[in-house]
Chain A
Amino acid sequence: MTVLSVENLQTHFFTRAGVIKAVDGVDFKLDRGEVMGLVGESGSGKSVTGFSILGLVDQPGRVAGGSIRFHGEDLVGKSEEQLRKLRGGKIAMIFQDPMMTLNPVLRIDTQMIEAIKAHENVSKREAWERARDGLGAVGIPSPEERLRAYPHQLSGGMRQRVAIAIAFLNNPDLIVADEPTTALDVTIQAQIIHVAQKMCHERGAAMIWITHDLAVVAGLANRISVMYAGRVVEQGDTDDVIDNPRHPYTVGLLGSVPSANRRGEPLMQIPGMTPNMLNLPTGCAFQARCSRASDACKQAPVPSGEGHLVRCFHPYERVSA
């Protein structure tokens, strides 16, 4: 069952210096219980894609085209009122910095009860109990006590757990997680991924995990979409994308990850840097850094392939297994 289907999403920022096409034609579908890794470097448009789904894109940006269908209903063009009903209800977001979710001057219980009562007409007592159970479910010890705490009294990992508990309070069908573990230590990262994984599994929620770290999504996601300069350049099942990367950018990104079997050898590196979004070359945005670029790349490539999509004129061949 398709929970979310994004088609030709375009989110543009209209600045004085020109139009920045932060997201320029992104397509994907998400089924119930599925986890999709949205991978890219800073400025690739992965976070803006996430924000667009929740209708959180601020001026001077707006969704300039395409559709975002949640259970078949287009979210683009919905009123703020309607979006507000969905946000924190059926669609929830987990941010990189949990302090973005949490209000520093309110106790955890106040914030959690508020989040429940905003979407459902329940008694305060009932809401409190659900908040307590929510904290318990994400592995916070002595939840009654923690409910009375303020965010600053908790450690970074604890805060992120609270943020996850809040995201799951109203049994969402879709979670957008924007680099939720980037600021955390490895051991805490593993704990947070464990919790998010468990919650999705138990509740059947679909999740978009936005990250720059391919190794994290390799262990977590069912499917991976790789973004570069506002476009999805490669999309497919995790195994396909990681074992058989076809786009030169994905190949370069995977080669940049230090891994055990190439110890001491120089890493494969992508030359140059991420392009200026105001001043993208015509055609393929990756051509200037690409070793396979040719004159054909002056035209914009369209995604091709069955199931495993690649947006490139000169993709690497599939290695037959």
Chain B
Amino acid sequence: MTKPILEIKDVSKRFVKGLDVAGKIAQRLGSSISEEVVHAVDSVNFTVQPGEVVGLVGESGCGKSTLGRVVAGIHAASEGGVLFEGKDLSSMTPEERRAAGLAIQMIFQDPFASLNPRMRVEQIIGEAPLVHGLCTRANQSEYVDNIMTRVGLDPTLKRRYPHQFSGGQRQRIGIARALAVKPRFLVCDESIAALDVSIQAQVLNLFMELREEFDLTYLFISHDLSVVEHIADRVVIMYLGRVVESAPTEELFANPRHPYTRALLSEVPRLDQRRRSFTPIEGEIPSPLSPPAGCHFHPRCALATDLCKSAAPDLLEPVQGHQLSCHHDLGRQSA
């Protein structure tokens, strides 16, 4: 087995909302007010092999974006560590940290908010490679042209500002900006969610072409299971900060073993299902401020027992490559 390019080891991320003055005084006076802690990511473990596309799926509020940001180095992990090519991001020397920062790039959801409206496209794409010495001032223009052509943008438009482009084109600018520093690992956070269906297909195809051409590895964060099924080699399902199931894409879609995964899969609208009656899972994702004890999914789970209410299940690997965190493993479906 090759060495993984990225290892996420027991990563937790907590956001703490401190008390204001009034709150502190109230606390002194014996009130039960305390700091609010959100466990956005709770002891998550997984590894990514070079060249792999890992899809990270979950509902809003499950911590998938936070985890993506921890991987991209935007947030520091509260506990645990992210190992890039075997080295922990937090214990790297400044030079190593810079190199890793360049190698891991992020592409954001909103192509309207993630581009500086006051910069021309050539500056947006050309700034980072110049700073990091990947191109010189003399050949910067040529460098930008190349990348723009590669992502399907017309280089003659490089003097324009982001607002002069459509949503799909802006997303391409975001991709070009990330590619400009020759990354090896891309974190795509809902990168196609804001686009129209026909444009989604264009960008999705672009991601797959670039993967071949530049030998990229992706962490593809999305709420859209059909997109993930299409592009990912392996899927990690998160629920309220924890990984509940992780398996190669085909295995996961053919044999979902966690009740949550099964429910999610049955609710994806598909073209081949006509006039079906939708049978939703009950309830909504609970607040991460006060997650339920034990297994986070138990209040919505049809199989929940007393055990689920008290003890959180461990992430086990009943089959090689298929990890699962549930007391009531649904097992393989008979083929």
Residues A256 and B200 in contact in the complex (CB < 8 Å), given A215-B269, A239-B274: yes
Check: B112 CB closer than 8 A to any chain A CB. Answer: no
Contact with B along A156-187 (1 / 0, CB 8 A): 01100000000000000000000000000111
Q: Tell me if A269 and B277 are in contact (CB < 8 A).
A: no
Complex Cα distance, B284 from A68, in Å, reads 39
Q: Tell me if B199 and A219 are in contact (CB < 8 A).
A: no
Complex Cα distance, B263 from A41, in Å, reads 29
Partner of A41, one of B197, B269, B270: B197
A238: chain B residues at CB < 8 Å are 274-275
Partner of B59, one of A187, A194, A268: A187
In the complex, which residues 250-272 of chain A have their Cβ closer than 8 Å to any Cβ of chain B?
Answer: 252-260, 262-264, 266-271
Partner of B278, one of A194, A257, A262: A194
A255: chain B residues at CB < 8 Å are 201
In the complex, which residues 177-198 of chain B have their Cβ closer than 8 Å to any Cβ of chain A?
Answer: 196-198
Check: B271 CB closer than 8 A to any chain A CB. Answer: yes
Complex Cα distance, B264 from A257, in Å, reads 18
Partner of A242, one of B224, B226, B271: B271
B284: chain A residues at CB < 8 Å are 155, 157-158, 187-188
Q: Kindly report which residue of chain B lies nearest to residue A267, judged by CB atoms.
A: B201
Check: A42 CB closer than 8 A to any chain B CB. Answer: yes
In the complex, which residues 305-333 of chain B have their Cβ closer than 8 Å to any Cβ of chain A?
Answer: none
A186: chain B residues at CB < 8 Å are 59, 223-225, 264, 267-268
Residues A197 and B280 in contact in the complex (CB < 8 Å), given A187-B264, A260-B229, A273-B199: no
Closest 4 CB pairs of A and B: A258-B230, A256-B201, A190-B267, A191-B280
Interface range for B: 35 or more
| Number of interface residues, chain A, beta carbon within 8 A | 48
Complex Cα distance, B280 from A219, in Å, reads 14
Partner of A252, one of B198, B230, B269, B275: B198
**Taking beta carbons and an 8 Å cutoff, which residues of A are in contact with B?**
41-42, 155, 157-158, 185-191, 193-194, 197, 212-216, 218-222, 238-239, 242, 252-260, 262-264, 266-271, 273-274
Stretch at the interface among B75-83, B153-161, B202-210: B202-210
Whole-angstrom distance between the Cβ of B293 and the nearest chain A Cβ: 21
Partner of B267, one of A189, A221, A274: A189
Whole-angstrom distance between the Cβ of A91 and the nearest chain B Cβ: 24
Q: Kindly report which residue of chain A lies nearest to residue B287, judged by CB atoms.
A: A155
Partner of A218, one of B225, B269, B279: B269
Q: Kindly report which residue of chain A lies nearest to residue B59, judged by CB atoms.
A: A185
B60: chain A residues at CB < 8 Å are 185
Residues A262 and B271 in contact in the complex (CB < 8 Å), given A187-B59, A188-B284: no
Check: B281 CB closer than 8 A to any chain A CB. Answer: yes
Residues A197 and B198 in contact in the complex (CB < 8 Å), given A218-B269, A218-B271: no
Partner of B280, one of A187, A259, A264, A271: A187
Sampled A-B contacts (11; CB under 8 Å): A41-B196, A41-B197, A42-B196, A185-B285, A186-B59, A186-B268, A187-B263, A218-B273, A219-B270, A220-B275, A269-B198
Q: Which of B59, B169, B274 has the most CB of A within 10 A?
A: B274
Check: B249 CB closer than 8 A to any chain A CB. Answer: yes
Q: Tell me if B269 and A262 are in contact (CB < 8 A).
A: no
Complex Cα distance, B324 from A274, in Å, reads 43
Q: Tell me if A213 and B269 are in contact (CB < 8 A).
A: yes
Complex Cα distance, B204 from A158, in Å, reads 32
Q: Tell me if A194 and B168 are in contact (CB < 8 A).
A: no
Residues A259 and B226 in contact in the complex (CB < 8 Å), given A187-B267, A213-B197: yes
Q: Tell me if B271 and A197 are in contact (CB < 8 A).
A: no
Q: Kindly report which residue of chain A lies nearest to residue B226, judged by CB atoms.
A: A258
A158: chain B residues at CB < 8 Å are 284
Check: B34 CB closer than 8 A to any chain A CB. Answer: no
